[in-house]
Structure 1
């Protein structure tokens, strides 16, 4: 390929901003002077790419010199196999400035029409307390955190998640809850899978109440199909369970608002050996008897109305609670209490053996993530309001609903279902229905259409007296009613929650822990939020060099639009014609992603990388079925693959067959050929990560794809490492048929402490007809007869994989902004520099550590694996010892012991400047010198700087009996003396926590003053 300049990096010298543009020639040397004027006075000074990409022009030249290359393009030519290189630049626009692009996106956003929503269906308007919005949702100290796999530097978010779990267990009346799931629909599907695994009935039928939210039923149906599970939808009031079932799903309150006493049906289900799941509105449980008290085995739902904006469907934190009996079958992450080396309470992720990278094809779920940032917001909402405040919010909503019902009856409407909490089923005379439809549009009101002349109305925390008046007018034929909401108040018995069946009233206390009763003033909550934040290392502190996770800059300009009301205040089932701005954004983002990947079509629906894997495999499955080959069920997976790959394959109804890797970490092509031939008649797919999980560009990738295609299979590419491809090569060009894209990695959606994520998929043209559909998309104008039915066409799409049609739509503007800001050259340059930075680290650490796998010419892709296994023999030092010692140097440790035990996988990304790369390398080299001291006998093998790391402030105040000075322990470098980040706790005892599993808040006397 001809060399191209990277003039997007040109405005800085040695990492410092200058006032002009200094172009960088193809050889990486700066031309002109640092104060050259922009090429045209019409252009905004500078570019976003130079702010996104860390190294300056001079940095790049110095790094290339160390690596022995004259230019950046020469390094890329020697690293990326020429056979797969793109022959032309990406067909995208030139990157724009942040200022002008925010204006452009604002114009697009204003194409959305923000109607007042009363649709309900599990989603409600809510108020995000400004103290939470500004100090969590909009704070990079929270949203740039990584998954808490290093718990000593993640105690803040772990405490917030423990609060979340406590909130859920208290309100549901069950014993254990996880740290959140993706949405209510997928949580219900996870409940079905868990029930299938633990039930002793041997049945393959899952019974679902027709009163459940229709999108939940649809997602459950999608999940059930490849597993051979039959989903029966029926009336809980008449079901007898004569046919064996393994599980039951009920909605509480029902989707149309009715509150049912499920005691009898649960007793019948248990008698039949079934596991019962109740999908419950969490706020209603401040007033209603919790599911755990009337026999439910599992409770699932959404915490969106706890302060998280609608966001056209997400991201929101679902919850999943169950009995302690099923703690080892609980999907997702679980935060538990343990203790550190000082005997202090310390939090960490519990029961790690449930993780998919260990259980692989034996896993019952592929969930490896959570909605952490959203769960933190929801838990902090409960902390802010406390039990009394939440109950008052719920009572006010119920009182307004009662007033609305009273007024509508006076207007001649029939309210069909009582008792209710916040939702009414309203029937009107048939001749009035059309007028209500027409007026709802002119009044900018959305209600749910339940039938030709039946409507659903759901009220919420934001509902006002004016809203009730508008609804009265809507149903009164635009006449102003002769009464006001205030006039109806005296007809309401009192402000308490009273329903005919007192057996359904909540009588038990909830949220009694001091954390929910101590921070109700803004001052106190602000301090609490910031105390937690200070315990967590985020990108605001230092580089997070995690292999396969791409912790790059999440620019402020990319984040700003997510809280704009035009994006955040739209219901996921609002009529499509009201969402023109979103549709423009979706269409443009899909087109850009298709161009970047070389695929024909993109689906934005999967709302996590694991869901993208699952969706891609379902598409492949449907493709084979459409060709009359349902017997193609074998999925080949390299032994190096991430554990979600085999877990996803099993969920998609496939049989996993492992493929060996060779000594260099590449797929063993001979073994692949043998396995493909052996399973020729049944081969469905190969799952492959590219660049490989071992961090190299495999030269044989095209041959690998050809082998699979020759035997009738499809190639699924895991897009975790796409950051090494953008602008250089495209999976759609070199043989992949489908690929999921981690927008929270390559395309800048922040990790948020472990979530949100987004995992859209791209597919080749022949797979496009099978991309997921959604029941809402068939009824753009109204939500009438909202249910999913498989298409009768020749090429039916798969069903929905997320509760909302476009998954977590409200965070898609982040990736839209990133791509538009960077443009063709910026995106390509980012990839080049990501590869440069990784190779620079590998080179600088040469002679101190061995890089386990290298590609052709001894180079790595965008990450490298450091082999640390020898130190166990020479100094009794484990990989975890080195990881914890890095914390003392002010770094988040890289990925440890994956994909190879005893190693570290390092990925610096393109956003880190040379000075930060050098600081990391200097720290690793210094730690190697500390290991040499142990090897030489100058430091004790059991009592040394690494074994005792991380060193806490508490450790310094205790009697110091260690054979090295305090200062060396906690201030190993000049940087740490000025910028010290203190681990909140010492090394955590993981085994103790699993032996003594505690997953809710401890009583306050368990905490010392030092870690309150």
Structure 2
């Protein structure tokens, strides 16, 4: 047939191997077809009987036409709603060179510090900016959103409380409703009482362990909390403040009036609202809490040559080590957005930030004066950016006129709230005044705005005016022209290995292609500039996208409905368990509190179970890495009266499709429990099987893994949950935007649909792949993994395999035997950097191993290059085993090798410079140089420096 009607398929661009390469790999495996491999790898009893019922795949051009039509249904009015979300101006140099740049958005979490120095520096800048602005000693490298950051603070202060009988968290009534909603959710499993009461000394009763202040308050008012904080500390009550980061350029930082913890959202630092996210929350605290702080901390240390180097400190993969005893289940942060916020601080510097804050405050004061000239009563005496205008019975008329002028205000009990932001102009003030004047039957010309600018008085009380400096480090005072800023961004980007350079073969993390077309709509104004609490008739584009994505993901998972509120995989785990908890309570079985978790599970599983108030009981695995069904049945029956759930990953964390998974689900159901499936390995299921078909009741999906949202150096993530029909009534609701029924659990994150703007990416992926394309991607991922397994298994033992000797989409290479000659798995990881690769997952789920996942996006050439590197490294290990090379002085122990080391005048190592830098020929054509040598981890933990140090401070440390 003529190819005149041929239409190129997006899947042919997404999947790496060409048709001829697939046949070559199948031949290497001794197979005739891809379906033959799938039959060997995936148990027949779990295979779907029909193809996915999804719309026909769109071409890239057709998709862009469709998504533009959807975007056009969103109405982007000028937003003055506030409530923690503000319009921003994203500096173009940051938007183009960070947010839209795969050199920044495709990196993995910086667990391999030597090839992540760029984003580590950007995150250290974020920590420094937060610590400076909040007036506290230490900050982490971001959390998910403001509400969950407040919940993390509550839990940290509860765990560290001096009075162990105190269980009340005293919360100001003047708090954002979404934050209170999330606090209520997180408090339930621990028996913490959220007491909403005025922050007065007489309310500091003995049963209170900590208190929460919103600063400025939700209604925009500003108060001095110095006396209240001192009174709280006298009674051993700790103080947490939720602060507006932009306001702290003008207001006394909470750290200076005694706050123990300050949390908030860095969205105002150049990150679009995006209908709710993603945005990087911040968490700052006192040095005393440095080992309790949730999330990641970037710390300063040195490399093997004594040079300045950075690493993740203290909490690195804490949940995988401490599991149910972990202080948090956080795995994904919001690294990319924290990086954007940090560059915003660098670009504007202290004076620029102050100028922006002052302009916001001055325009707010001007509007205040103008509205009072019109005869309105403005309630807030002290404020930064928010006014409250008493309009009484005129609310309806005012709202109608505001909408006619495409303005959104915040309406509450006869009051109109107006929150200004950095995009507000003098002309905007004129428009607002015109609207209010019309309601009074006046002309806006009755107000001399230009004249009023000469009469503005301070709206910030003298005791609340900031006098201390901030952003004093040279980094924040050096790059204010676009040329300098561009070069600074690029200098950091050059220090990081990303998917731009090579495959990132991380087992259980699915680092696949993030196609350019998938990413384009993300920065369109009609997706980026929408406030999450905008009137529903302005958000129909988002609603169409979310509803269609719900239908598609429900079809893919075999579930009845999805909730898009969880904005990370770990938060999805927590949300799913809380839904199960609510289901049991609805059946008068709230006593069910035992969660069975296999020994091989992701560390976030037991940490999430603990957060949900569950007792973790570990189930053994057999010698083949599968769940020990006999032990599972014994423990399920033993705890039948109290069995809440089983948390299971499928395929298993050991990279195998367990044959007994349906029986496993049946055992749990027979004993009154529910099955929670961890969706981390969904990339091996799509189109072949599904959680619902297997028998699971709830599953979270890592959209930042299987469905192409990029990792962004450690986030953003999205972890929506799908549930079976009987759990649908209990899906998360939201205090501001109703999205579930009366039985729904309270919110798990700040925005109703989590990090909504990045849903556009997964929507694009599914729309352009279609059911057939998604299924082919799964098959290709399994092929790529089995090809690597076949190439490497004669060099490295592969720890587990299925009944037919095949793995799923990943495998575990056993490196433990090399310890006998002094070679650790970490040495292999560092040496891979010299070959231009990020290491696979190190020592998880089995210590001393590498877990490899290639994904479907990698070509045969790239797979071979990776295999050649590991085989070459095996030869280097062999030289140590035979005694040809010393166990301590060898190329692995000194890896990685920097350009500075290799080009130094002196070279006294027992191997050549060529061996160090160019062990395989392809490296002479395309070499990625690690920017530092091996990082000194122990020094970094002994001397924790987590903000940008001066040269003197660094040398002293």
- TM-score, scaled to structure 1: 0.93
CA distance in 1, matches of 2:834, 2:315: 25
* 3-state SS of paired residue (2:736): helix
* Contact 1:469-1:484 within 8 A present in 2 as well: no
Report the alpha carbon displacement of residue 984 of structure 1 after superposing the two structures with TM. Answer: 0.6
Deviates more, 1:711-720 or 1:405-414: 405-414
Report the alpha carbon displacement of residue 503 of structure 1 after superposing the two structures with TM. Answer: 1.6
* 3-state SS of paired residue (1:705): helix
CA distance in 2, matches of 1:565, 1:500: 33
* Contact 1:244-1:272 within 8 A present in 2 as well: no
Deviates more, 1:195-204 or 1:588-597: 195-204
Matched ranges for 1:522-671 at <5 A: 522-671=482-631
CA distance in 2, matches of 1:118, 1:170: 28
Residues 1:846 and 2:793 are matched in the alignment: yes
CA distance in 1, matches of 2:185, 2:747: 6
CA distance in 1, matches of 2:188, 2:437: 45
Query: Match for residue 749 of structure 2?
Result: 802
* Contact 1:96-1:820 within 8 A present in 2 as well: yes
Query: Match for residue 214 of structure 2?
Result: 251
Structure 1, unaligned runs of 5 or more: 1-35, 781-789
* 3-state SS of paired residue (1:279): strand
CA distance in 1, matches of 2:814, 2:543: 47
Distance verdict in 2 for CA 1:399–1:956, change over 3 Å: same
Residues 1:123 and 2:85 are matched in the alignment: yes
* Contact 1:171-1:290 within 8 A present in 2 as well: yes
- 1:418-439 CA distance string (max 9 Å, x none): 21000011112x2322210111
- 1:809-868 CA distance string (max 9 Å, x none): 000000000000000110000000000000000000121111001111111000000000
CA distance in 1, matches of 2:49, 2:59: 28
Selected match of 2:117 from 155, 161, 166: 155
Selected match of 2:452 from 465, 481, 488: 488
Distance verdict in 2 for CA 1:732–1:751, change over 3 Å: same
Residues 1:167 and 2:139 are matched in the alignment: no
* 3-state SS of paired residue (1:693): coil
Report the alpha carbon displacement of residue 243 of structure 1 after superposing the two structures with TM. Answer: 4.5
* Contact 2:810-2:854 within 8 A present in 1 as well: yes
Query: Match for residue 38 of structure 1?
Result: 3
Distance verdict in 2 for CA 1:503–1:712, change over 3 Å: same
- 1:292-338 CA distance string (max 9 Å, x none): 00010000000001000010000000000000000000000000001
Residues 1:409 and 2:405 are matched in the alignment: no
Structure 2, unaligned runs of 5 or more: none
* 3-state SS of paired residue (2:409): strand
Residues 1:298 and 2:261 are matched in the alignment: yes
* Contact 2:57-2:767 within 8 A present in 1 as well: yes
Query: Match for residue 436 of structure 2?
Result: 475
- 1:391-418 CA distance string (max 9 Å, x none): 0000111000000000011111111112
Matched ranges for 1:354-369 at <5 A: 355-369=318-332
Matched ranges for 1:686-765 at <5 A: 686-765=646-725
Report the alpha carbon displacement of residue 60 of structure 1 after superposing the two structures with TM. Answer: 0.4
* 3-state SS of paired residue (1:348): strand
Selected match of 2:241 from 278, 285, 308: 278
CA distance in 1, matches of 2:885, 2:769: 49
Query: Match for residue 192 of structure 2?
Result: 229
CA distance in 1, matches of 2:176, 2:649: 36
Matched ranges for 1:4-403 at <5 A: 37-38=2-3, 40=5, 45-202=7-164, 203-237=166-200, 239-352=202-315, 355-403=318-366
* Contact 2:361-2:384 within 8 A present in 1 as well: yes
Distance verdict in 2 for CA 1:500–1:521, change over 3 Å: closer
CA distance in 1, matches of 2:765, 2:489: 29
Report the alpha carbon displacement of residue 477 of structure 1 after superposing the two structures with TM. Answer: 2.1
Query: Match for residue 8 of structure 1?
Result: none
* Contact 1:435-1:477 within 8 A present in 2 as well: no
Residues 1:945 and 2:872 are matched in the alignment: no
Report the alpha carbon displacement of residue 1002 of structure 1 after superposing the two structures with TM. Answer: 1.6
CA distance in 1, matches of 2:770, 2:952: 55
Distance verdict in 2 for CA 1:93–1:38, change over 3 Å: farther
CA distance in 2, matches of 1:303, 1:356: 25
Report the alpha carbon displacement of residue 1004 of structure 1 after superposing the two structures with TM. Answer: 4.4
CA distance in 2, matches of 1:846, 1:655: 39
* 3-state SS of paired residue (2:709): coil
CA distance in 1, matches of 2:377, 2:253: 29
Report the alpha carbon displacement of residue 241 of structure 1 after superposing the two structures with TM. Answer: 1.4
CA distance in 1, matches of 2:271, 2:315: 29
* 3-state SS of paired residue (1:1001): coil
Residues 1:455 and 2:424 are matched in the alignment: no
- 1:684-731 CA distance string (max 9 Å, x none): 000000000000000000000000000000000000000000000011
In the alignment of these two chains, the number of paired residues is 950
Report the alpha carbon displacement of residue 499 of structure 1 after superposing the two structures with TM. Answer: 4.6
* Contact 2:170-2:197 within 8 A present in 1 as well: yes
CA distance in 1, matches of 2:41, 2:845: 22
Matched ranges for 1:802-841 at <5 A: 802-841=749-788
Query: Match for residue 733 of structure 2?
Result: 773
* 3-state SS of paired residue (1:774): coil
Report the alpha carbon displacement of residue 483 of structure 1 after superposing the two structures with TM. Answer: 2.2
- 1:550-595 CA distance string (max 9 Å, x none): 0000000000000000000000111112100000000000000000
Selected match of 2:930 from 983, 989, 997: 983
Query: Match for residue 6 of structure 1?
Result: none
Residues 1:921 and 2:834 are matched in the alignment: no
CA distance in 1, matches of 2:31, 2:393: 79
* 3-state SS of paired residue (1:851): coil
- 1:945-984 CA distance string (max 9 Å, x none): 1000000112123321101110111011121111110001
Query: Match for residue 811 of structure 2?
Result: 864
Distance verdict in 2 for CA 1:524–1:441, change over 3 Å: same
Report the alpha carbon displacement of residue 38 of structure 1 after superposing the two structures with TM. Answer: 3.2
- 1:877-915 CA distance string (max 9 Å, x none): 100111111100010110000000000000000000000
Residues 1:999 and 2:946 are matched in the alignment: yes
* Contact 1:360-1:643 within 8 A present in 2 as well: yes
Matched ranges for 1:419-430 at <5 A: 419-428=382-391, 430=392
* Contact 2:796-2:814 within 8 A present in 1 as well: yes
* Contact 1:665-1:694 within 8 A present in 2 as well: yes
CA distance in 2, matches of 1:881, 1:675: 39
CA distance in 2, matches of 1:257, 1:37: 68
* 3-state SS of paired residue (2:229): helix
* 3-state SS of paired residue (2:454): helix
* Contact 2:296-2:316 within 8 A present in 1 as well: no
Report the alpha carbon displacement of residue 1005 of structure 1 after superposing the two structures with TM. Answer: 6.1
Query: Match for residue 19 of structure 1?
Result: none
* Contact 1:697-1:855 within 8 A present in 2 as well: yes
* 3-state SS of paired residue (2:241): strand
Residues 1:683 and 2:643 are matched in the alignment: yes
Q: What RMSD, in angstroms, separates the aligned Cα atoms of the two structures?
A: 1.3
Residues 1:899 and 2:863 are matched in the alignment: no
Report the alpha carbon displacement of residue 500 of structure 1 after superposing the two structures with TM. Answer: 6.2
* 3-state SS of paired residue (2:605): helix
* 3-state SS of paired residue (1:134): helix
CA distance in 1, matches of 2:264, 2:624: 46
CA distance in 2, matches of 1:995, 1:806: 41
